[in-house]
Amino acid sequence: DQQVKQNSPSLSVQEGRISILNCDYTNSMFDYFLWYKKYPAEGPTFLISISSIKDKNEDGRFTVFLNKSAKHLSLHIVPSQPGDSAVYFCAASDQAGTALIFGKGTTLSVSS
Amino acid sequence: DVKVTQSSRYLVKRTGEKVFLECVQDMDHENMFWYRQDPGLGLRLIYFSYDVKMKEKGDIPEGYSVSREKKERFSLILESASTNQTSMYLCASSLVGIYYGYTFGSGTRLTVV
Protein backbone atom coordinates (compact mmCIF):
# COMPACT_ATOMS: atom_id res chain seq x y z
CA ASP A 1 0.00 0.00 0.00
CA GLN A 2 1.57 3.21 -1.15
CA GLN A 3 1.64 5.81 1.62
CA VAL A 4 3.09 8.63 -0.47
CA LYS A 5 1.65 9.09 -3.93
CA GLN A 6 2.80 11.21 -6.82
CA ASN A 7 0.12 10.55 -9.38
CA SER A 8 1.67 12.49 -12.25
CA PRO A 9 4.69 10.67 -13.69
CA SER A 10 5.65 13.68 -15.79
CA LEU A 11 5.06 17.40 -16.22
CA SER A 12 6.11 19.70 -19.04
CA VAL A 13 6.34 23.47 -18.52
CA GLN A 14 7.68 26.39 -20.49
CA GLU A 15 10.54 28.44 -19.13
CA GLY A 16 9.35 31.33 -16.98
CA ARG A 17 6.01 29.72 -16.13
CA ILE A 18 4.99 28.09 -12.86
CA SER A 19 5.59 24.39 -12.23
CA ILE A 20 3.28 22.69 -9.73
CA LEU A 21 4.15 19.22 -8.53
CA ASN A 22 1.65 17.38 -6.39
CA CYS A 23 1.90 14.76 -3.69
CA ASP A 24 -0.75 12.94 -1.64
CA TYR A 25 -0.28 10.86 1.47
CA THR A 26 -2.42 8.42 3.38
CA ASN A 27 -0.78 8.16 6.78
CA SER A 28 -2.14 10.78 9.19
CA MET A 29 0.86 10.16 11.47
CA PHE A 30 3.22 11.79 8.98
CA ASP A 31 4.42 15.06 10.45
CA TYR A 32 7.32 16.13 8.25
CA PHE A 33 7.53 16.35 4.49
CA LEU A 34 10.44 16.89 2.17
CA TRP A 35 11.07 17.37 -1.54
CA TYR A 36 14.13 16.00 -3.28
CA LYS A 37 15.42 16.67 -6.77
CA LYS A 38 17.33 14.11 -8.80
CA TYR A 39 19.34 14.49 -12.00
CA PRO A 40 20.27 11.40 -14.02
CA ALA A 41 23.33 9.53 -12.73
CA GLU A 42 23.32 11.55 -9.51
CA GLY A 43 21.91 10.99 -6.06
CA PRO A 44 18.83 12.96 -4.95
CA THR A 45 19.49 16.32 -3.32
CA PHE A 46 17.36 17.94 -0.66
CA LEU A 47 15.27 20.84 -1.92
CA ILE A 48 12.78 22.05 0.66
CA SER A 49 10.80 20.72 3.63
CA ILE A 50 7.76 21.54 5.72
CA SER A 51 6.57 20.57 9.16
CA SER A 52 2.94 19.59 9.73
CA ILE A 53 2.48 22.60 12.01
CA LYS A 54 2.90 24.88 9.00
CA ASP A 55 0.96 25.25 5.79
CA LYS A 56 3.60 26.99 3.70
CA ASN A 57 7.36 27.18 3.44
CA GLU A 58 9.23 29.28 0.93
CA ASP A 59 12.83 29.24 -0.24
CA GLY A 60 13.63 31.43 -3.19
CA ARG A 61 11.81 30.17 -6.27
CA PHE A 62 10.51 27.12 -4.40
CA THR A 63 7.41 27.05 -2.19
CA VAL A 64 5.82 24.02 -0.59
CA PHE A 65 2.18 24.09 0.49
CA LEU A 66 0.66 21.62 2.90
CA ASN A 67 -3.07 20.91 3.23
CA LYS A 68 -3.38 18.52 6.18
CA SER A 69 -7.12 18.04 5.92
CA ALA A 70 -6.73 16.89 2.33
CA LYS A 71 -3.47 15.06 3.05
CA HIS A 72 -1.95 16.88 0.12
CA LEU A 73 1.17 18.88 -0.51
CA SER A 74 2.46 20.66 -3.54
CA LEU A 75 5.72 22.15 -4.70
CA HIS A 76 5.59 25.37 -6.70
CA ILE A 77 8.54 26.53 -8.76
CA VAL A 78 8.34 30.11 -10.01
CA PRO A 79 9.71 30.97 -12.47
CA SER A 80 10.67 27.62 -13.91
CA GLN A 81 14.10 27.32 -15.54
CA PRO A 82 15.53 24.68 -17.90
CA GLY A 83 17.96 23.66 -15.13
CA ASP A 84 14.97 22.63 -13.04
CA SER A 85 14.40 19.69 -15.40
CA ALA A 86 14.82 16.65 -13.15
CA VAL A 87 12.89 14.01 -11.24
CA TYR A 88 11.23 15.36 -8.10
CA PHE A 89 10.49 13.07 -5.19
CA CYS A 90 8.12 13.80 -2.37
CA ALA A 91 9.00 12.15 0.97
CA ALA A 92 7.36 11.90 4.38
CA SER A 93 8.26 10.88 7.91
CA ASP A 94 6.24 10.12 11.02
CA GLN A 95 6.90 11.37 14.54
CA ALA A 96 9.06 8.38 15.31
CA GLY A 97 11.57 9.84 12.88
CA THR A 98 12.19 6.56 11.17
CA ALA A 99 13.25 6.28 7.56
CA LEU A 100 11.73 8.53 4.94
CA ILE A 101 9.05 7.10 2.67
CA PHE A 102 9.32 8.34 -0.88
CA GLY A 103 6.82 8.72 -3.67
CA LYS A 104 7.47 7.37 -7.15
CA GLY A 105 8.65 10.72 -8.47
CA THR A 106 7.55 13.20 -11.11
CA THR A 107 9.77 14.03 -14.06
CA LEU A 108 9.70 17.76 -14.75
CA SER A 109 10.75 19.03 -18.17
CA VAL A 110 11.20 22.77 -18.60
CA SER A 111 11.56 23.90 -22.19
CA SER A 112 13.14 27.17 -23.27
CA ASP B 1 32.70 19.34 1.26
CA VAL B 2 30.76 16.70 3.18
CA LYS B 3 29.67 13.70 1.25
CA VAL B 4 28.47 10.14 0.92
CA THR B 5 30.68 8.02 -1.29
CA GLN B 6 29.59 4.83 -3.01
CA SER B 7 32.49 2.68 -4.11
CA SER B 8 31.33 1.93 -7.65
CA ARG B 9 29.28 3.92 -10.15
CA TYR B 10 28.66 0.97 -12.45
CA LEU B 11 28.83 -2.74 -11.70
CA VAL B 12 28.09 -5.82 -13.78
CA LYS B 13 27.77 -9.15 -11.98
CA ARG B 14 26.64 -12.64 -12.88
CA THR B 15 23.58 -14.39 -11.53
CA GLY B 16 24.39 -16.23 -8.31
CA GLU B 17 27.40 -14.09 -7.39
CA LYS B 18 27.72 -12.55 -3.95
CA VAL B 19 27.85 -8.78 -4.40
CA PHE B 20 29.07 -6.11 -1.99
CA LEU B 21 28.06 -2.48 -2.36
CA GLU B 22 30.04 -0.14 -0.14
CA CYS B 23 29.04 3.24 1.21
CA VAL B 24 31.13 5.63 3.29
CA GLN B 25 30.10 8.97 4.81
CA ASP B 26 32.37 11.58 6.33
CA MET B 27 29.78 13.58 8.25
CA ASP B 28 29.70 11.54 11.48
CA HIS B 29 26.03 10.77 10.84
CA GLU B 30 24.34 8.21 13.02
CA ASN B 31 21.81 7.01 10.47
CA MET B 32 22.54 5.28 7.18
CA PHE B 33 20.17 3.89 4.57
CA TRP B 34 20.10 1.79 1.43
CA TYR B 35 17.45 2.42 -1.23
CA ARG B 36 16.94 1.13 -4.70
CA GLN B 37 15.46 3.19 -7.50
CA ASP B 38 13.52 1.59 -10.34
CA PRO B 39 11.50 3.25 -13.12
CA GLY B 40 7.90 3.70 -12.10
CA LEU B 41 8.59 2.49 -8.56
CA GLY B 42 10.51 5.41 -7.09
CA LEU B 43 12.85 4.95 -4.13
CA ARG B 44 12.25 1.87 -2.02
CA LEU B 45 13.95 1.30 1.31
CA ILE B 46 15.96 -1.91 1.62
CA TYR B 47 17.69 -1.58 5.03
CA PHE B 48 18.73 1.13 7.43
CA SER B 49 20.92 1.47 10.47
CA TYR B 50 20.75 3.78 13.50
CA ASP B 51 24.10 2.88 14.95
CA VAL B 52 27.08 0.64 14.60
CA LYS B 53 26.06 -3.02 14.44
CA MET B 54 22.39 -2.02 14.41
CA LYS B 55 20.17 -2.73 11.42
CA GLU B 56 16.50 -2.57 10.57
CA LYS B 57 14.63 -4.04 7.62
CA GLY B 58 12.99 -1.67 5.21
CA ASP B 59 10.21 -2.40 2.75
CA ILE B 60 12.08 -4.80 0.46
CA PRO B 61 14.84 -6.61 2.41
CA GLU B 62 14.45 -9.99 0.74
CA GLY B 63 17.63 -11.12 -0.98
CA TYR B 64 19.75 -8.50 0.79
CA SER B 65 21.71 -8.17 3.99
CA VAL B 66 23.75 -5.33 5.46
CA SER B 67 26.77 -4.75 7.63
CA ARG B 68 27.75 -1.77 9.73
CA GLU B 69 30.94 -2.44 11.64
CA LYS B 70 32.05 1.19 11.72
CA LYS B 71 29.97 4.33 12.02
CA GLU B 72 31.06 5.74 8.68
CA ARG B 73 30.59 2.59 6.60
CA PHE B 74 27.41 0.78 5.61
CA SER B 75 27.61 -2.18 3.24
CA LEU B 76 24.80 -3.76 1.26
CA ILE B 77 25.23 -7.43 0.40
CA LEU B 78 23.39 -9.34 -2.28
CA GLU B 79 23.76 -12.90 -1.08
CA SER B 80 23.09 -14.48 -4.49
CA ALA B 81 22.51 -11.90 -7.18
CA SER B 82 19.51 -12.31 -9.43
CA THR B 83 18.43 -10.44 -12.55
CA ASN B 84 15.55 -8.78 -10.69
CA GLN B 85 18.13 -7.05 -8.52
CA THR B 86 19.35 -5.06 -11.51
CA SER B 87 18.75 -1.51 -10.33
CA MET B 88 20.18 1.81 -9.19
CA TYR B 89 21.26 1.53 -5.56
CA LEU B 90 21.41 4.67 -3.46
CA CYS B 91 23.05 5.05 -0.07
CA ALA B 92 22.14 7.92 2.24
CA SER B 93 23.02 9.18 5.68
CA SER B 94 21.48 11.60 8.16
CA LEU B 95 21.77 12.98 11.65
CA VAL B 96 19.41 11.66 14.30
CA GLY B 97 15.94 13.07 13.59
CA ILE B 98 14.59 13.07 10.09
CA TYR B 99 14.24 16.83 10.02
CA TYR B 100 17.73 17.28 8.68
CA GLY B 101 16.93 15.26 5.59
CA TYR B 102 19.26 12.83 3.94
CA THR B 103 22.52 13.24 2.10
CA PHE B 104 22.66 10.78 -0.77
CA GLY B 105 25.55 9.23 -2.60
CA SER B 106 25.72 9.32 -6.39
CA GLY B 107 24.40 5.80 -6.71
CA THR B 108 25.63 2.46 -8.06
CA ARG B 109 24.07 1.16 -11.24
CA LEU B 110 24.13 -2.63 -10.82
CA THR B 111 23.41 -4.93 -13.72
CA VAL B 112 23.02 -8.65 -13.04
CA VAL B 113 23.40 -10.82 -16.14
Q: Which one of A23, A46, A57, A94 would you mutate to disrupt binding with B, by most B Cβ within 10 Å of its Cβ?
A: A46
Distance, CA of B86 to CA of B81 (rounded, Å): 9
Q: Residue B40: pLDDT band by 50, 70, 90 thresholds?
A: confident
Burial grade of B42 (CB within 10 A; 0-12, 13-18, 19 or more) = buried
Residue pair A57/A76 in contact (Cβ under 8 Å)? The answer is no
Pairwise CB contact (< 8 Å): B101 & A101: no
User: pLDDT tens digits, chain A, 112 residues: what are they?
Assistant: 789 999 999 999 999 999 999 999 999 989 899 999 999 888 999 999 999 999 999 999 999 999 999 999 999 999 999 999 999 999 998 766 668 889 999 999 999 9
Pairwise CB contact (< 8 Å): B42 & A45: no
Q: What is the pLDDT of residues A56-65, one digit of tens each?
A: 999 999 999 9
Taking 3-state DSSP, the helix, strand and coil percentages for chain B, each rounded to the nearest 5, stand at 5, 50, 40
Q: Minimal Cα distance from B97: which residue of A?
A: A97
Q: What is the DSSP letter of A84?
A: G
Give whole-number Cα distances, A22 to A58, A68, B25, B91, in Å: 16, 14, 32, 25
How much of chain B exceeds pLDDT 70, in percent? 95
Q: Give CA A2 to chain center in angstroms.
A: 16
Q: Touching check for A103 and chain B: CB below 8 Å?
A: yes
Q: Residue B5: pLDDT band by 50, 70, 90 thresholds?
A: very high
**In Å, how far is B24's CA from the nearest CA of chain A?**
14
Q: Touching check for A44 and chain B: CB below 8 Å?
A: yes
Pairwise CB contact (< 8 Å): B42 & A103: yes
Q: Touching check for B74 and chain A: CB below 8 Å?
A: no
Residue pair B46/B53 in contact (Cβ under 8 Å)? The answer is no
Distance, CA of A7 to CA of B10 (rounded, Å): 30
Q: Minimal Cα distance from B104: which residue of A?
A: A43
Greater model confidence, B5 or B7: B5
pLDDT at B100: 66
Q: DSSP strand E in B7-100: where?
A: 10-13, 19-21, 23-25, 31-38, 42-49, 56-57, 64-70, 73-78, 87-94
Amino acid at B21: L
Q: Which of A58, A50, A51 is nearest to A76 (CA)?
A: A58
Q: Which of A32, A12, A29 is nearest to A21 (CA)?
A: A12
